[in-house]
Structure 1
Amino acid sequence: MSVRHLLTVTAAVSAGTIALAAPAIAQAAVQPSAATGMTSGRLGPTLTALVALIGVVIGGLAVRSAGRTGNGERRALVALGLGLIGVVGGGLFAVTADGGPGTGNGIVGAFAAMVFGLMSMALGGLTLVRARRTV
């Protein structure tokens, strides 16, 4: 088999593959893709989830310092407040979201905000129970 024959067969197979793949490529180009990046629908739930996550961190610090100083109770109250903001805000964003995950409406961030909010409230409540028990 000569090199010229091999190049001809390779070119014919490549052209046939491209011809068969062209409709699939065109169809993929027409279909709308999922929203990427920070859309206006994702900004609010993301910030709410971030606030609730900060509440989880403060709640964790409060649990560690529950019996030692008065800072534990203050941190617990802050964690409870930030957790409440996360649960209520996440719930509102989840109710008003139009689509599911990947649509750019922030439903994943809303559920994350509710989960982090519940964790923050649980840590704050645990700290208050421990602080009151030691007094």
Structure 2
Amino acid sequence: MPINDLLAASTVAASTLTGDRIVATVAAVVALAGAIIGGLALARPTSRSGRRGPAVAVGAGVAGALVGGLVVATADGGPGTGNGIVGGYAALVLGLLGALLGGLALARTRRIA
């Protein structure tokens, strides 16, 4: 089989939403929410944010990182193939960031209490 046939069969238009792209996008949004909540919980005084914000940030970050890692591990090709690999990597990085920020804020609440 010629290489042109393989390349033509494996690419998807940039505007096409495949199942993998949707899963990766949702994971990236959840991970981004975790990173934002973790950053806000770390920036605010402990008495105002309590323990709920940091716990939500850790949970959302871990969930986003796990789903993003799963998308990256199961992807058949690179960017542009419709496998959601770019969103998977974004979810992986943002999820780890959210878990880290939430963990720091959670440790601060435990240290003060």
Using structure 2 for the length normalisation, give the TM-score.
0.83
Q: Which has the larger radius of gyration?
A: 1
Amino acid of the structure 2 residue aligned with 1:92: L
CA deviation map 1:19-50 (0-9, x unaligned): xxxxxxxxxxxx73842112222110111101
CA deviation map 1:33-75 (0-9, x unaligned): 8421122221101111011001111111111224233x33110
Counterpart residue number, 2:112: 134
State how far apart, in whole Å, the 1-side matches of 2:50 and 2:56 are.
10
Counterpart residue number, 2:39: 60
Contact 1:65 1:72 in 2 (8 A): no
Q: Which has the higher contact order (CA 8 A, sep 6+)?
A: 2
Unaligned 5+ segments in structure 1 are 1-30
- C-alpha RMSD over aligned residues: 1.9
State how far apart, in whole Å, the 1-side matches of 2:107 and 2:47 are.
14
State how far apart, in whole Å, the 1-side matches of 2:101 and 2:107 are.
10
SS at match of 1:68: helix
State how far apart, in whole Å, the 2-side matches of 1:103 and 1:72 are.
43
State how far apart, in whole Å, the 2-side matches of 1:89 and 1:57 are.
18
1:1-135 equivalences under 5 Å are 32=8, 34-35=11-12, 36-37=14-15, 38-69=17-48, 71-135=49-113
Counterpart residue number, 1:11: none
Counting matched residue pairs gives: 105
State how far apart, in whole Å, the 2-side matches of 1:129 and 1:79 are.
13
Unaligned 5+ segments in structure 2 are 1-6
Identity %: 49
Amino acid of the structure 2 residue aligned with 1:82: A
Amino acid of the structure 2 residue aligned with 1:134: I
Amino acid of the structure 2 residue aligned with 1:126: L
